[in-house]
């Protein structure tokens, strides 16, 4: 029975693959539902984009629904990449099979919608004059469905035939004997140009920015791929859902610069032969993050283009130089570059010869007038946000979505926006969307939304809406992820850069389909974290942040979790030390410094302590920092924090002397503390010999090393020597109390755990001695008169609160303190120089603090 009423539970806008599946799920769940669609039939993208050569560029076996197990058996694709008519037939087949059309109102465009906070319902206004009211309003309006209006002067003047690839005539176009212009060289142009060239008498392509394209090598689907799919379709689909981009693929383990040039080229060649879009950035694991790696891929493309295109000038014009590979959507083609070898095909490079105006008879460029019978605009879309703000949506308190998004879209999970209760977006900005196989992302959103609606109904709730905190932090998380990649460096439609006046922010979520799905699932598992749910029984605000860790820290923890690294406290001391040495061998080395000198100095008991001196490249003498490494008094050596010491040396312009100290359990408390003081005294006495400035000594350390640095400063005050001008304490151990909230909140999961700290303390110090200020400097009776301190603490560190407490106690005692609390960082993340970049600012501030201690006598070596 069709839904003729104008008051329904759910309105879905759009009858593409997203709207069709959402309708199915809503029906299954028993919600009365109406779909409103501008077109006169289903299919969305595949209804509108009928240009010659239109086909998917994700393998059809992957770019198909997974929610109907029977459909997977009933439907067989004829090619690797099905053409538009076949994909539209597929949509038609699904619509028939599930009798979807009876709830779809075609030829109906939604023009505006407003939320009524009194009735808790949306009113949807359409261009037919029929309004529909609903509790839940779902935008399945597509990411690439709002054609971009060409921003070329004179567009209306042309009297010949005008076509847009995005709204191609249903009965096709015959270009035989015609002079044709194609404006644009994105995916649609790359697909259509060879076929238009095959018909036209003359074809002129106007190119603003060349794109990277590889041959699609279309044809039968490989037996291997089909076998993988057919042998266990559900396992295949599940692998896609938990993959980086929605297609099951082996992840590259190596960076492009880690293999020989021969090996690198062989792998690029294999990618070129395989003809898969996601293969392009998947050859190595760093081409989207490392410019130097990407350059090797870019050169490979340039060489390919030069080897195919005969005219060297045309080849150069087709070589993309202004963006890195993968930072704009790359293309799959069939004979695209070869087409430029045909005598009747011409390329106009608009960077050299810009269009001045479209005329009645053709196109004038700065250098030449052209006459045409037909112009094809392949000028792309107002991507991701165009169709959503194309509807005038007014939420609570009269705020419009367009206004809310004036500086760029703001969403929680790319699914909802605060101030707009019960409004959902499928594959909206802030979700993986266009960076993925959209079919997988569509299904995930449809399922999430359907489950949410069922949850509300089950719990007698009427509305769901994200909190501002959750939304703001999600946007920040996505931006941070993007900033770790080369993506924002391109003027791409991912950035909104193709539409004049559109705010330039990275629109999709770049953290990957798998990571994104995990976040969405976790939101639900944690009782709809970051949402306010409201109903007759009351309002529940479950405010919070779903991904509070810095993006690169999160990735690092994910990788470590996958590697199944054993907990250190489960190892013997010897094995733990070996493990630390092995881990240190594979980390980035840190910046160059002027000189590194190894030596020994006497410890408190007269035995030799090894040290490593890092000297800046600037002319000396330099002030000196005595540095103590981390490792819980049990692990580590004088060179254990090498990258951090290099970084501090290079950035501060001070000599860093990283001194070892006797370790537990062989030498228990107070051996390490005593060695700290002995080392500082020796360094002060030998400052000149070391190339340092006498009387200019600071102490620094990380973790247990920061404990030793703090204790050294206290002991030096008590015994009167050496004079210490400042202390830099990174994640210091300052107390033996494990009951502070940071120990509870961060007990597990962030590398330094409660169990590991217990292991360290047990090796180092008898319980009876732990309250001694030489073990727990926070417990010292008098903190006044200590040197100025910079104290750095990290949000996800069990030691956070005792570090914060030490900063507060020093301040209370009149000691100048610069206290830096690092959001989203862990105990180990700030020391990961060149590996984790989001903490770089903290290292810079530590170096600046060191410079501050020494005043004018020090300048940065960077």
Q: Which residues bind ligand FAD (CB under 6 A)?
A: 13-19, 36-39, 44-45, 47, 49, 54, 56-58, 63, 109-110, 140-145, 188, 387, 390-391, 426-427, 437-439, 442
SS3 call for 379? coil
The DSSP element (H or E) to which 727 belongs, if any, is: strand 726-730
Closer to ligand FAD by Cβ: residue 428 or 670: 428
Give the CB-side neighbour count of residue 352, counting CA atoms within 13 A: 13
Record the tokens describing residue 26, joined without a space: 């809503």
Sign of CA pseudo-dihedral 30, 31, 34, 37:
negative
C-beta of 423: minimal distance to ligand FAD in Å? 14
Closer to ligand FAD by Cβ: residue 513 or 700: 513
Q: Is 67 exposed, middle or buried (0-12, 13-18, 19+ CB in 10 A)?
A: middle
Closer to ligand FAD by Cβ: residue 63 or 300: 63
Alpha carbon distances (Å) from 853 to 654, 683, 684 = 11, 17, 16
Closer to ligand FAD by Cβ: residue 49 or 365: 49
Alpha carbon distances (Å) from 426 to 14, 21, 55, 420 = 10, 11, 22, 15
C-beta of 508: minimal distance to ligand FAD in Å? 12
Closer to ligand FAD by Cβ: residue 45 or 202: 45
Closer to ligand FAD by Cβ: residue 191 or 204: 191
Helices 84-97 and 17-29 meet at what angle, rounded to 10? 10
- Is residue 683 a contact partner of residue 721, using CB atoms and an 8 Å limit? no
Nearest to 498 by CA among 626, 726, 336, 323: 323
- Is residue 130 a contact partner of residue 108, using CB atoms and an 8 Å limit? yes
- What is the Cα–Cα distance from 751 to 558, expressed in whole angstroms? 11
C-beta of 796: minimal distance to ligand FAD in Å? 35
Closer to ligand FAD by Cβ: residue 391 or 523: 391
Closer to ligand FAD by Cβ: residue 56 or 733: 56
530: which strand partners? none
What is the bridge-based pairing of β-strands 423-425 and 531-535?
Answer: unpaired
C-beta of 501: minimal distance to ligand FAD in Å? 20
Record the tokens describing residue 683, joined without a space: 């360094």
Helices (H), 335-467: 336-339, 386-389, 401-404, 438-458
Record the tokens describing residue 748, joined without a space: 């597990």
Beta strand segments in 474-594, E: 531-535, 538-542
Instruction: Scan for tokens 């006598």, then name that residue.
Output: 857
Instruction: Scan for tokens 């029975």, then name that residue.
Output: 1
SS3 call for 742? helix
C-beta of 100: minimal distance to ligand FAD in Å? 13
- What is the Cα–Cα distance from 226 to 252, expressed in whole angstroms? 23
SS3 call for 597? strand
- Is residue 66 a contact partner of residue 18, using CB atoms and an 8 Å limit? no
C-beta of 250: minimal distance to ligand FAD in Å? 20
Q: What share of the chain is helix, strand, coil (3-state, %, to 5)?
A: 35, 20, 45
Helices (H), 348-493: 386-389, 401-404, 438-458, 468-483
Closer to ligand FAD by Cβ: residue 17 or 336: 17
Residue 200: CB atoms within 10 A of its CB come to 24
Record the tokens describing residue 416, joined without a space: 């909802």
SS3 call for 679? helix
C-beta of 84: minimal distance to ligand FAD in Å? 8
Closer to ligand FAD by Cβ: residue 186 or 861: 186
């Amino acid at each position: 029975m069709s839904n003729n009423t104008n008051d329904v539970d759910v309105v879905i806008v759009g009858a593409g693959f997203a709207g069709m599946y959402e309708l199915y799920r809503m029906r299954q769940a028993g919600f009365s539902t109406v779909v409103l669609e501008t077109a006169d039939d289903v299919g969305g993208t595949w209804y509108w984009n009928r240009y010659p050569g239109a086909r998917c560029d994700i393998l059809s076996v992957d770019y198909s629904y997974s929610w109907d197990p029977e459909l997977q058996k009933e439907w067989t694709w004829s090619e690797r990449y099905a053409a538009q008519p076949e994909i539209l037939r597929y949509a038609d087949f699904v619509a028939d099979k599930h009798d979807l059309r009876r709830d779809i109102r075609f030829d109906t465009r939604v023009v505006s919608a407003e939320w009524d906070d009194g009735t808790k319902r949306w009113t949807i206004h359409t261009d037919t004059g029929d309004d529909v009211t609903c509790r839940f309003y779902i935008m399945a309006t597509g990411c690439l469905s709002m054609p971009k209006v060409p921003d070329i002067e004179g567009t209306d003047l042309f009297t010949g035939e005008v076509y847009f690839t995005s709204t191609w005539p249903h009965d096709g176009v015959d270009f035989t004997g015609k002079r044709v212009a194609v404006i644009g060289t994105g995916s649609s142009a790359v697909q259509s140009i060879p076929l238009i060239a095959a018909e036209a008498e003359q074809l002129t392509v106007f190119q603003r920015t060349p794109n990277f394209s590889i041959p699609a090598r279309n044809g039968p689907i490989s037996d291997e791929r089909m076998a993988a799919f057919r042998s266990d379709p559900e396992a295949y689909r599940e692998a896609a859902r938990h993959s980086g981009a929605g297609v099951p693929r082996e992840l590259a383990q190596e960076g492009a610069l880690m293999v020989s040039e021969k090996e690198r080229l062989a792998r690029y060649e294999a990618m070129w032969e395989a003809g898969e879009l996601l293969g392009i950035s998947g050859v190595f694991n760093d081409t989207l993050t490392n410019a130097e790696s990407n350059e090797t891929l870019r050169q490979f493309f340039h060489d390919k283009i030069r080897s195919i295109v005969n005219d060297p000038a045309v080849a150069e014009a087709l070589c993309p130089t202004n963006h890195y590979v993968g930072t704009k959507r790359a293309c799959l083609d069939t004979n695209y570059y070869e087409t430029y070898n045909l005598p009747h095909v011409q390329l106009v490079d608009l960077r050299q010869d810009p269009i001045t105006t479209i005329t009645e008879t053709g196109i004038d460029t700065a250098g030449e007038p052209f006459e045409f019978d037909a112009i094809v605009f392949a000028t792309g879309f107002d991507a991701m946000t165009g169709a959503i703000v194309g509807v005038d949506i007014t939420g609570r308190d009269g705020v419009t979505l367009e206004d809310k998004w004036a500086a760029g879209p703001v969403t929680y999970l790319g699914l909802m926006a605060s101030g707009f209760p019960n409004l959902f977006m499928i594959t909206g900005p802030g979700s993986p969307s266009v960076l993925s196989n959209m079919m997988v992302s569509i299904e995930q959103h449809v399922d999430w939304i359907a489950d949410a609606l069922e949850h509300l109904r089950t719990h007698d709730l009427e509305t769901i809406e994200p909190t501002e905190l959750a939304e703001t932090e999600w946007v920040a998380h996505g931006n941070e992820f993007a900033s770790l990649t080369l993506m924002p460096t391109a003027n791409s439609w991912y950035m909104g850069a193709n539409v004049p006046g559109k705010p330039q922010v990275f629109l999709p979520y770049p953290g990957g389909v798998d990571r994104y799905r995990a976040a969405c699932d976790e939101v639900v598992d944690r009782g709809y974290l970051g949402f306010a749910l409201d109903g007759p029984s009351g309002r529940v605000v479950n405010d919070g942040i779903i991904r509070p860790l810095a993006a690169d820290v999160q990735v690092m923890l994910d990788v470590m979790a996958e590697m199944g690294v054993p907990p250190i406290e489960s190892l013997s001391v010897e094995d733990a030390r070996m493990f630390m040495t092995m881990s240190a061998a594979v980390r980035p080395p840190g910046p160059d410094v002027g000189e590194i000198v190894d030596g020994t100095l006497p410890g408190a008991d007269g035995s030799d302590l090894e040290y490593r001196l890092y000297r800046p490249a600037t002319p000396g003498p330099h002030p000196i920092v005595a540095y103590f490494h981390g490792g819980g008094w049990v692990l580590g050596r004088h060179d254990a924090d090498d990258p951090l010491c290099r970084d501090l040396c290079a950035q501060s312009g001070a000599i860093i002397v990283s001194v070892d100290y006797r370790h537990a359990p062989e030498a228990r408390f107070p051996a390490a503390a005593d060695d700290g003081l002995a080392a500082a005294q020796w360094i002060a006495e030998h400052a000149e010999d070391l190339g340092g400035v006498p009387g200019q000594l600071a102490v620094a350390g990380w973790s247990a090393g920061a404990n030793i640095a703090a204790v050294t400063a206290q002991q030096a005050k008590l015994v009167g020597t050496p004079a210490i001008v400042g202390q830099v304490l990174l994640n210091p151990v300052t107390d033996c109390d494990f009951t502070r909230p940071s120990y509870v909140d961060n007990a597990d999961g962030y590398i330094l755990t409660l169990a590991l700290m217990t292991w360290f303390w047990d090796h180092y110090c008898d319980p009876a001695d732990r309250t001694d200020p030489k073990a727990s400097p926070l417990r010292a009776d008098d903190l006044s008169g200590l040197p100025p301190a910079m104290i750095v603490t990290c949000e996800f560190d069990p030691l956070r609160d005792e570090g914060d407490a030490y900063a507060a106690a020093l301040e209370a005692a009149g000691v100048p303190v610069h206290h830096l609390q690092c959001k989203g960082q862990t105990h180990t993340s700030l020391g990961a120089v060149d590996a984790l970049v989001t903490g770089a600012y903290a290292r810079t501030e530590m170096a600046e603090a060191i410079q501050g201690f020494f005043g004018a006598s020090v300048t940065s070596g960077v």
